[in-house]
Structures are given as structure tokens and as C-alpha cells.
Chains A and B, each alone.
Chain A
Amino acid sequence: MGARMVSFGGWDMPVEYSGIVDEHLAVRSRAGLFDVSHMGEIEIAGADALKAVQHITSNDAGKLAIHQIQYSALTTPQGTFVDDVLTYKLADEHFMLVVNASNIMKDFNWISEQITGLGDVAAVNTSSRYALMALQGPAARDVLQTLTGVDLAEIKYYWFTTGEVANVRCTISRTGYTGEDGFEVFSPPGSAERVWDAILQAGRSAGVVPAGLGARDTLRLEASMRLYGNDMDETTTVVEADLGWIVGWKKTEFLGLDVLQKQKAEGAPRKLVGFEMMERAIARHGYDVYIDDVKSGVVTSGTQTPFLKKAIGMAYVPVDSTKPDTEIQVDVRGRRARGRVVPMPFYKRAK
């Protein structure tokens, strides 16, 4: 395949195939296929499974129908992130959390601890049972449709179903991490290569290309999707990450709810904002942010984006500096470069 590989959490991961820019633009205009099998899956089952999921995650899983998905936070009692997750409702008493690769064991241990004593419920780390491929881009649906009897048009955004892809039994969800329409396909690991090859084959005439972690990162940043470990972690709350929309504010209880309610009512001291650079300079993860010559925050993600062709990023800044057009300076290796706060998302696809 000619991929440039990197070792990550025990997996050999493709960073890029034909190049980050090429793959990024392919996903925006056609489609790209990502191997994201390193993602983890933790299943929670039992008569009290919903109660357990409600206790450990911020979003209201009580609103989920079977086959529906929601973005959520696995929270600490301080309202910060143990991880960010997708919650899949497999059945009334059975949920699956899709978690970040580097957090699998931490999450599993945390969940096991937190649900002890909550009744009839158990958590199982099922990560090794699934390979995961993401087909993302405007051509994704038509290409995948040629390989499955499932009517993909019937799967709404953030819903999933089960069915065969290239004669392999899979879970197919209309989700992704690129800002484009697309699907994520969970297959048994032993059949993953067959599914992968079939999708690339079926997508050849439509210009589908294999895409790596490099393009995944630039695509998600353009779409303003957060990356755990960069944009939020155990020191940042859900409100500070400006993800109030993944909090079930009407829930009576979950870990950290009181802290988040207080921050919502009184305001958090800082907030994650999007910015773009106003001069030629690229702000990157970890660079200091200055406002009126005072060190005020830090860049959490930043790059030169291939599609928008701008240097953009996200940063935590004091709450009185979050308005669009607020000027910031980023310390780019000793030089202060000017940028300004802009609304997120940076990129939103045309419907």
C-alpha cells in the first residue's frame, strides 16, 4: 500500500498513504477509507445497564432509541473528561461505548469501579472483537451501497444497523470524525482485510483512497471535532471544552453534574475557542497564547488546513476573551504571531 507507518498503543498505524493534503482533499471531494481499528469498545449490559451508563456519562442515554448513537463524555466527579465516547444503544439492557485507543484500559478500569454496586450490570472490554473502518466523504454512501443489502439511505446520522458488507456480518453506523457524510463499519478482525479491500475496489472508479491518521487529524480539526489528550483531558471540564450540548441538563445525577451546573450558571473561568492566524505562522499544540501581552492560555490543536488553506486552531482562553474577533497572539517558537477568535466549526459541509 506504500503507507507510512507509526506505532501507536501497540498498533501499527498508517499516518499517510498518498500524503495528508491529497487524502484530506479526497475526503472533502470524493471519499477516503480509514482503518481505525485501534479504537476501543466497552460493552455495558444487564438490567441496570441504563442506570450505569447514565451515572458515568454526561449525555442523556435515556433519550436513545435502540440503534441510536450519541456523543458523550465519560466524566470524573469534577466534571472533567476521563474520555470522550460514542454511546451505542444495542438493546434496552445493552450499550456499547466506543472509546479512544490510548484510554481503553483506563476507561475500562474506571467504568468497572464506578458501576460496582449499581445493581445488575457488568462491563466487558470487547475491543479485540472488532476491527473498525471509516468510509468518509460525499461518495461514501454510493460506494458502500454497492456492497450491502442494507438500505443505507435509511440509516440517519448517528444511527446504526447490522448487516452484511462484502458478505461479512458488520455493524454499520452513520458516524465519522471528518465533518463529511460517511459510515463506520465494525467487522470481525479476521474479516477486516476482506471488507477493506472490497470497499477500495468498489470505490476505485469514484476515486476513493485509503487515508491515514494524519488526514484524520486535519479533517477533524477543520470540522472542530475535539481530540482527547489535545483539546480536553482530566483537567478540563465538559463546559470548558464548550461541549455543553453533550450534557443531559435534565438528568438528576451523573458524575460531575454539580460542577458542570455551577459552571453553566456562573460561567467557567476559561473556554475552548477556535482561532485563525492573521499572519503567516502555524500555531501548534502546546504553544502559549497571549492576550494583551499577558500569557492567557494554550493552543490545544493547530495546523495549516489543507481544504480551508488557513492556519487554524483551538485554544483555552479566559472567558472574557472568547468573543469572535478577539485578538490573540500565539508564541510560535519565540515569535508572537497574531490571530483572532473565530466561530466554530471552521468547516461545515453543504447539505
Chain B
Amino acid sequence: MMPIRQLGIAVIGDKDLVNGLRLIGVSRYYMIEDSHNASEDVREALGELIGDPGIGVVIILEEYAKHVEDLIIQLRGGKRFVPVIVEVPPRGGTTYGDVGEYYKEFIKRFLGFEIEI
């Protein structure tokens, strides 16, 4: 049994997301400005967070998650519990379409057959 630990929450996002979450107390944040090298900035920020054992949940904007898909997949395939990366929608709503479809794909990959949830 793993002892109960206190872990931090970090957020990588644009101004809206970061402001919304700072309002309730998230103090670890990486605000990515609309610059030409957003991809590198995101990669650097996520790399730093993955290396930090005190971080439990990383909140990342969907469009930024696309820049670091390889890191996320690597993290998901690992045995470590944390950090967990949660993708959240940008201002205009999610870009992934239906939620059910997204996870159906996921289930199909592991179980080998499709199933209605």
C-alpha cells in the first residue's frame, strides 16, 4: 500500500485557462503565450513537470497536448502513477468530437472489440 502523499497540481495553458485555475489557488502554472515556438515551450514545461516527483496532476490544454503527444503516450504506457495528464478543452469547446467515441477507441485497443458504453 502506497502511503498517502500530498501532490501538487500544475497547469499548462493559455491565459484563460491559467487565470481560471489560479483564481482557486493553483500556483504552479506555465502560461504559453501565442509565440512562434509554443511547441518548444510546452515541451520544456511538461518535461520539467514530469521530472518533478511532487506533481500529481498536470492540466494541459488540448491544443498544446498535440505538441507533446509522444511524451504523453510514453507516460501513459509507464508504470508510474503520477503525474497524470488531463487534457482540457480550450475556450471554443473540445476539438475531439464526441467523448464516447474517443474512449471507445481506447477500449477497442485494449479489449480488442468494440463495446457500447
Q: Do A and B originate from a single complex?
A: no
B interface residue numbers (CB < 8 A to A): none
